[in-house]
Amino acid sequence: MMSGCKLDNDSRRSPLVATSILFLDFVKAAALLNPHSTKYVEGAMAGKRLGNIGLYGSKGFESSDDWFLDSGATTHLSRRNDWLEKYNCDKSNTVGIANGAQIQSTGCGTVKIPLATKKTMIAKDVHHAPELAVNLLSVSRIASHGKSLIFDINGCRIVDIPIRVPQSHVLGTASQHQGLHCLDRPVQFGLLAEQPHDLWHRQLGHLSRGSMKLLLNGMVTGIPKNSVSNIDCVTCVKGKQCRLSFPKLHGKRATNLLDIVHSGICGPTQVRSFGGARYFISFIDDFSRESFIYFLKNKNDALQKFKEFVAFVERKTSRKVKCLRTDNGREYVNDHFAQFLTANGIRHERSVPDTPQQNGIAERLNPTIVKKARTMLIDAGLSTDLWAEAIGTANYLRNRCPTKALRNVRPGEAWSGRKPNLSHLKIFGCLAMECIFVGYSETSKGYRTINRFTKKLNIARDVVFLESSFPGTRQTNAHLGEQEKSAADDGEEVIMWKLQGDKPSGTEADKTVSSPIEARESPCCDTMNENAQTNEGRPKRNRVPNRTVFNSDFVVYEAGMHEGDPVSYRDAIRRPDAHDWLAAVDEELASHHKNHSWEVCSLPEGKKAIKSKWVFKTKCKIDGTIERRKARLVAKVCSQKPGINYEDTFAPTVGHASLRLLLSLAVQNDLEIIQMDVVTALLNPKLKEEIYMELPEGVAKCQYPTYCRLKKSIYGLKQSSRAWYDMLDGTLQRFGMKRLKSEPCVYYRRIVEKMLIIGIYVDDLLILSNDQQATTDLKRVLHKQFEMKDLGKAHWCLGIRINQEKKFGTLSVDQARYIDQILGRFGVVDCKVAKTPLDPNQLLSKEMSRRTEDERMEMKKIV
């Protein structure tokens, strides 16, 4: 490598690649846009490698104006910067060369290339690489802009229309992968080819080197002898990082299958699986160490899964489960579980409180499975929504790999008595034609895949795998590495499987640390058959309709709804749309400044200051799309005392019953419904009381004092609503409106057949009228007294969507958006419709009542 070559080993950018400069296809197929460059190609074809004719220098080249088509370059490269228009030096990058060297790109821009056909081709995003001796045009970049390239013995032609070739004349194809073209080759089911050493390591779910060596001693069939690599796996380091485990406590081993079964629950996960699961429960046979995994939406499902497990294994082995060993979690310790164990003669052994080591087999199994699954997800670049498929596959592989507990015998062999064949294994997450490989079928000899386009689960036997391609469902592994390094630098710890609830503390499971995988919830896709143990003959269950997950643009249920509004100022400024929320905060503070809501001062001796908080809300249009972000500064009223900080507090607002009545009157009397909004309504009344408040977040506090005295009412004060109601009431009565005695938030005025009705909900005014002049006069009075927003025809009120069709004399209301938000909040957007959400025959006991805040939230999802 020449001394002039710059290396950028610390760069976190993904390096651009220009690889084919050492290949003859580059020379043969060089698209000589300048005919004078032919002699250089002929010289190269005579036996010179391009690297010998001046990769870094200018030897062998009389002109640097020539452009060469490079089928192995992922981007355009130019050695001259005077050609580049719209030059951007911020887009510098590192270029990797075929001999392993790296050179620096100093920026990029657009180049207009004159062609021999007297036409001009515009190449965008051309990187300036002054150390190159030639200018390279990327074939894949040209093709991505709708151009076709025809290579033959005479050179190359670039055509600006698609070229169609009859299928009968197509000899072969090559798929584009990250800007390079990889020749498509046939692969037969179960047929082994020459594999790299780390391929089997990945196919076996990143099995340890020691366990892989044991497999080569004739323990299994279908795996080559030279499949163990001595190179450390970086992905294993990322995915399997954890703290040291406790010392082993040796107990009495079972002498037969199902004599002792260990069980433990892991969860809740931060991301729901495709089927809505947030937990998984494991059962492991003490004698064979065969493990079974079931997925749960709630911990209360543990008993049902145990029943399914018992029914399956007892019929499979013709033996009975004799003993169940668990911790003291309430999912195991309750009346219903005890009744089932007693009825079936199963002894229940529980670990002593605060001694999880007594249930060590289950405590070790769950984090082992989690680490393996997390490593496979990182390796494949898949989103965490696929965690259940990864867990199932990890357990499938674990049962077929040796364990020290059985003196290096495989659990599956000890369970069934048959030596496993591993020739069918593939790398988790690899490309399977139009699908992504996500596991193995237990009910048939086939593979489980997800179609990338239809988003459906498929089980097929004849599958063509491309184990060098991983389409993934999130950012690439390279980007992951950047995120991990960044998170490590910041001292952050992102946990994918967040173990909470009743799980004993101090175990290896609750200390498992994952790499920083984005934990954004996505809409669920296919409810893959997660409720099945990883063994043959798993029971069937009803399937939920397929759901979409792979489009990352739809994460957090953005189709038809917005993500939950920020709960605090700190939450708002940390979000991707922080600039929108900060703009709303600035708008609110500007209103206070314009309204002279407070004056900054020191806190007088003997006085106490109240605090404030920000309340954020998203206002939507009639179609559910976001109209604007809204921020409200609200006083915390817990420190207000009657007679000191406030007196009267009651302020009426229109209720849903009154609203429906008003809408009914509008239809019967052909009234037009319009809506107006009072900007910062509660800031208008003056305060009679002396109230001091700490300056809110978002207001500069760089110097003393940090308190203010409120001159006007603000949201949250107990007297604010009453003060605003009195002020608005006076304005409307002076205009000639009368207040209903039965509904003090409804005002009316009627002259003969002319009718004007106003419904008030704090700062929202719903105006019903068939008198255009009266409506205009009312708007003028309101605009004169307050800062108003005329919202025109009413569409939303109290969370209800209003759709008035005056020409048909109809009006309809619905709360579809609210329903969508509730379903989205709890991850059941595509759930099955049921007349009764809960099983009417389910028996509830005192033991099942909530005890923690997490359990209360879980119950809230159901009730």
Between CA 480 and CA 514 the distance in angstroms is: 12
Location of structure tokens 């169940």: 324
- Among residues 70, 285, 327, 385, the one annotated as catalytic is 70
776: Cβ contacts below 8 Å, ≥ 6 apart? none
854 is catalytic: no
Structure token digits, residue 440 = 């193995």
Give 228's contacts (C-beta < 8 A, 6+ positions apart). Answer: 197, 200, 201, 209, 212, 213, 216
DSSP sequence for 236-287:
HHHHS--PPPPPP---PPPSSTTSSEEEEEE--BSS--TTS--EEEEEEETT
Regarding beta strands 261-266 and 323-326, do their DSSP bridges make them parallel or antiparallel, or are they unpaired?
A: parallel
3-state secondary structure of 554: helix
The interaxial angle of helices 360-380 and 477-489, nearest 10 deg, is: 120
Task: List Cβ neighbours of 287 (8 Å cut-off, separation of 6 or more).
Answer: 253, 254, 255, 256, 257, 258, 259, 260, 414
Other C-beta atoms lying within 10 Å of the C-beta of residue 94: 19
3-state DSSP assignment of residue 701: coil
Contact 236, 206 (CB under 8 A): yes
How far from 76 is each of 85, 92, 141, 629, CA to CA, in Å? Answer: 14, 13, 8, 42
Determine the Cα–Cα distance for residues 741 and 743; give it in Å rounded to an integer. 6
Give the C-alpha separation, 54 to 60, whole Å.
6
Q: Which single residue is written with the structure tokens 């190609």?
A: 41
CA 224 to chain CA mean position, Å: 39
Give me the helix-helix angle, 387-398 and 360-380, nearest 10°.
120
Q: What is d(CA 366, CA 293) in angstroms, rounded to the nearest whole number?
A: 10
Quote the tokens at residue 481.
């590495």
Residue pair 331/484 in contact (Cβ under 8 Å)? The answer is no
Please give the radius of gyration of the chain, using alpha carbons only, rounded to the nearest integer. Answer: 35
Residue 412 is given by DSSP the state: H
Q: What's the one-letter identity of residue 89?
A: C
CA distance 665 to 797: 16
CA distances from 490 to 12, 298, 479, 486, 682 (A): 16, 34, 17, 6, 42
508 burial type by CB count under 10 A (0-12 exposed, 13-18 middle, 19+ buried): buried
Give the angle subtended at the CA of 818 by the CAs of 812 and 822, to the nearest 5°. Answer: 150
Query: What six digits make up the tokens of 77?
Result: 């490269």
| 493's tokens | 């710890």
- For the annotated catalytic residues, the residue numbers are 70
